[in-house]
Chain A
């Protein structure tokens, strides 16, 4: 992993690229599978040039056949290959639901451990810029519901590198990783090799008045909100990155909420039966009396994602939504809100077409 240490910072996309290259370089059994995996756009630059470097036998540009290619990945894994599969939109994985849920997640269990298929399925959450109802979903809860899958949502370059490196080196389980496309161009300072991100949850900011448990890009939004609340309201907010939605560190989350007595869950998807519901379950099953006020969930509105910009901005939570919810949970009146209502205004680097 020397290539990682040479730089003090990387964009999220560069971190993924480094991991893809590491996988291919460190084992001849690693294969990359996906629509567009070898084309000139290279999955937002995360696989660019790897086809030329490692050949088309190992970098497989696939037919539009998600179910088959997922089953293919499982079959290849049974014979010793390590498939890294990419769905350039998480929405496309629904076509492969049968293979993921009925087969891959159960293959080790239902045959009594005779087979141990492993693989990494990267799913890109396409939020913003008119992606609409079928290009912007974030279905981590659906997959986290099913035993046999580890679901992760790395929010930073460090988290990507620690998680992907671990999976690539160990090759012992099915992991689905949600990569939020708005993270790709963001620069992150690298700390590396702390192992923090492998336990399912990490504290990204310590605080004593309120806990925000967040996933993926909502960790960055929560850190913004926390900073704003400290500066403007004198509130001390703890932010927990829920790196794995299927296998969170339940004790770490409970201890934080025990300390602060207040909880907001900020997720990239819908609230019903979602991450917020699960975190609430964790707290309620351990000891709900640690809560000083009701829990609040922050996520997408309970509608399909609209395409037009005006509606889209209403549909997604912003840093303002987070601050408003936080003030409510803390029993404070709203006096001031952060500038920049729109998510896209803050991460204004991004433009389409895809």
Chain B
């Protein structure tokens, strides 16, 4: 379904999915923490739109949008959020641990920065196997606080790995701003490793992000050299949960208003046919999930190595 839509429609589809989740959240059908992508869908769509199925994506606990943009199965996604056996991870992963190996969405982690070295290792294997696919690792600016960020960038650059690091820079790690956490400039720091570095500030339009990323992927694929990209991002909701938190005092509502004024998912009028098609698809996925069986006791023990 998602691939039949244009990029703005894809982003809109993803937003509608999460808005639907917000609607059903109070019913307790989803019983786990949620880190919503709302506000950042255009980044996910733009980053994924030029990737082939074989290109691999590693990302974080705020990954609903990336899972869906990479082509992850929607029904399995909804079922996973509801802890059903038909979920993409059979009810063992949930919102923070999504994966769909069939589209090379390689798994997400709830530990900040922890997927960086997985992406590096995967890219190294691709290099050894002479594969032409690339690995994309999406992290937030908070991940750059962690030591393993440096370790991963160092190794990727040292070995010229076919990998793209994408930093979603929303200036926040949970509730703490970058200037309270980082003594360095992210981009200058990345340049020091010898990366091809790129930065885009206006990311509301998925087509613009897509076009930007297309050029970068081409560079990485032809030069076989790692790249580092910073995309400015804006999180519309609280760090975890379904509410807005502009009243909490750590960020400004005016910034949100300025950013969202350029958000095509808010400003654009979508055709009624598209909206109906999207809503139907979402409703069907929710029905599928609600009618799916829960795992049984035996399932608790599967996939633990002995």
Q: A-side interface residues toward B, CB under 8 Å?
A: 31, 57-58, 63, 65, 67-81, 83, 98-99, 102-103, 107-115, 147-150, 172-174, 247
Contacts and interface: CB of A to CB of B under 8 A. Distances in A.
Nearest to A174: B305
Interface of B: 56, 58, 87-93, 97, 99-101, 106-107, 109, 111, 114-126, 128-129, 147-148, 151-152, 154-155, 158, 302-306
B118 A78 contact: yes
B151 A68 contact: yes
A74 B151 CA distance: 15
Closest 5 CB pairs of A and B: A75-B121, A71-B117, A79-B125, A68-B151, A75-B118
A99 B117 contact: yes
B306 A72 contact: no
Which of B121, B125, B155 has most chain A Cβ within 10 Å? B121
Given A78-B106, A80-B125, A108 B303 contact: yes
Contacts, number: 144
B306 A71 contact: no
A114 B87 CA distance: 12
Contact of A76 (B87, B92, B121): B121
A181 B118 CA distance: 30
Which of A79, A80, A114, A150 has most chain B Cβ within 10 Å? A79
9 contacts: A65-B154, A68-B120, A71-B152, A73-B121, A79-B125, A110-B107, A113-B302, A114-B89, A247-B306
Contacts of B92: 109-112
A113 B90 contact: yes
Given A58-B128, A103-B114, A71 B303 contact: no
Nearest to A57: B128
B111 A79 contact: no
Nearest to B99: A111
Contacts of A83: 121
Contacts of A79: 56, 121-122, 125-126, 129
A110 B91 CA distance: 9
Contact of A113 (B56, B303, B306): B303
Contacts of B154: 63, 65
Contacts of A172: 305
A102 B111 CA distance: 8
A146 to B, nearest CB: 10
Contact of B118 (A58, A65, A81, A103): A103
A115 B122 CA distance: 13
Contacts of A69: 117, 151, 155
A123 to B, nearest CB: 18
B117 A115 contact: no
Contact of B122 (A65, A75, A111): A75
A98 B114 contact: yes
Contacts of A75: 58, 117-125
Nearest to B58: A75
B147 A67 contact: yes
Which of A81, A114, A115, A173 has most chain B Cβ within 10 Å? A114
A151 to B, nearest CB: 11
Nearest to A64: B151
A71 B114 contact: yes
A110 to B, nearest CB: 5
Nearest to A80: B125
B148 A67 contact: yes
Contacts of B117: 67-72, 74-75, 99
B66 to A, nearest CB: 15
Contacts of B147: 67
Given A109-B92, A109-B303, A173-B305, A72 B124 contact: yes
B41 to A, nearest CB: 23
B120 A72 contact: yes
A10 B306 CA distance: 29
B146 to A, nearest CB: 9
B303 A77 contact: no
